[in-house]
Amino acid sequence: MSLTELSITELHSRLARREVSALEVARAHLDRIEALDPMTVRAMLTVTRDHAERQARAADARLTAGETAPLLGIPVVLKDVLTTRGIRTTAGSKILERFVPLEDGTITQRLAEAGTIMLGKSNMDEFAMGSSTENSSFFPTRNPWDLDRVPGGSSGGSAAAVGAEFAPFSLGTDTGGSIRQPGALCGVIGFKPTYGRVSRYGLIAFASSLDQIGPFTRTVEDCALVMNAIAGHDPCDSTSLQAPVPDYTAALQKEPSLKGVRLALPREYFDVEGMEPGVEAAVKAAINQLESLGAELGEVSLPHTRYGLATYYLIAPAECSANLARYDGVKYSLSIREPGAGLWDVYERSRGEGFGREVKRRVILGTYALSSGYYDAYYLKAQKVRTLIKQDFDSVFEHYDAVVGPTSPTVAFPIGAKTQDPLAMYLNDLFTIPTSLAGLPGISVPAGLSNGLPVGLQIIGKALDESGVLRIAHAFEQSTHWHTLRSPIAQMDAATARSA
């Protein structure tokens, strides 16, 4: 078995026994990326071979000294919205194409301290605005299950990198579903923690009250290991929660059982126009499997779900219009200045050429929603509906341990199929947005195939109950084989591709 096929847990075991070096592991993944990525999925914006090899040598020194930390010597890919000292961080935008941060973000630093090896930065929708990674200012990423289809977004590069076996895990960000939806479409685990559970310091902001960092992995156990490393309070982030962080792996049981666990099935997540029959069938089969493991099921209503999309597309653009005001062509972003041009000319040219179409659409929408005379009618009302959506979940969690349903109403769709219809694109996040608005943890786990493409099952938990979500997801995973399926690109041999 190739080193690139192994999970974090399997790699850790081999590294701890010194059967393989961290440098060998890093080079195996780097060679695979360089041989396959440019001609297939195009998951990577920047590959950091020299940096990765330095980190691998440092990891080997720690391993030789007897250290056996769970992530020591494990490769990782970071979404290019997480700042990395001395390595360009573009947020998928031309306006930051040449931006090289002076310091690491908190999570980048925590992973480095844990001994991980950063292979590079992954492609994404510009400033995390999109559901397909077609809004990248550089190039679209392709799905490792079908290169003619999207990987989801906005963290499509991170999801595709794990699905193509370029790395055993990656990090993405989730604002309205940008970890869970691409996780579902690429057939990998995608986990969004509770808002504030993971520090956002060093994350280039899209919508500050919604953005949250989380992992993509191949197994739930690997997800728990990564969460152990990245969760916890950070004094540099004012939204970071001062709550104890448990050992997430302790929640995972050896025998798959959900006896006594109560799972809610929201009517609004199933009776939906536009859900593909294959997705619905796979999710219902997954729910039957949860019941066979001993879970108690109950139908519930989350009545304000139907307002989630409209609410999100007022709050998120409003916040992005404020956050992106800093990219004005004066400080560190793209600056287009002509002789004799005034300040407003610099603003207009720099932002006009630096921002892509979707970013401009959302900045304009958000600025309008915050403008005088419209603030109360739009933004303030959206915040009130957000509270109602959270109260819907609170009511359900008085009687149930988690909510389950589809992650995405469809499987991966063809590249270009929805680029001319923004509303159709926005509907991809129909089931993930309410979770983000309520600040709750949610995970997507592989739950079947429809027309040969992955389907994701979403499990949503109470605030700060990541352990409960991981326990349910792990029990389901251990009782099914869906997580063991490999994409066609994952099955490609890098050496053969290189010689071809």
Give the residue extent of every domain in the chain: 3-259+466-499
Share of the chain above pLDDT 70, in %: 99
- Give the integer Cα–Cα distance in Å for 441 and 469: 8
- Give the integer Cα–Cα distance in Å for 78 and 193: 17
- Give the integer Cα–Cα distance in Å for 206 and 335: 21
Q: Is 372 a catalytic residue?
A: no
CATH of domain 3-259+466-499: 3.90.1300.10
pLDDT of residue 500: 53
What's the mean pLDDT when you consider all of the chain?
96
Q: Which one of 122, 132, 154, 170 is the catalytic residue?
A: 154
pLDDT of residue 497: 63
Task: List pLDDT tens digits, range 248-267.
Answer: 999 999 899 999 999 999 99
- Give the integer Cα–Cα distance in Å for 407 and 410: 9
- Residue 247 contacts by C-beta under 8 Å, 6 or more apart in sequence? 228
Q: Is 131 a catalytic residue?
A: no
Nearest to 26 by CA among 65, 67, 54: 54
Q: Which one of 178, 333, 350, 487 is the catalytic residue?
A: 178
Residues of the chain with pLDDT under 70: 496-500
pLDDT of residue 498: 63
Task: List pLDDT tens digits, range 292-330.
Answer: 999 999 999 999 999 999 999 999 999 999 999 999 988
Overall pTM surpassing 0.85 (yes/no): yes
Task: List pLDDT tens digits, range 77-126.
Answer: 999 999 999 999 999 999 999 999 999 999 999 999 999 999 999 999 99
Q: Is 154 a catalytic residue?
A: yes
Give residue 294's region: left, alpha or beta (phi > 0; psi -120 to 50): left
Q: Which one of 79, 121, 418, 462 is the catalytic residue?
A: 79
Q: How far is CA 274 from CA 71, 114, 341, in A?
A: 41, 43, 50
- Give the integer Cα–Cα distance in Å for 264 and 172: 27
CB contact at 8 A, 29 and 75:
yes
- Give the integer Cα–Cα distance in Å for 345 and 67: 56
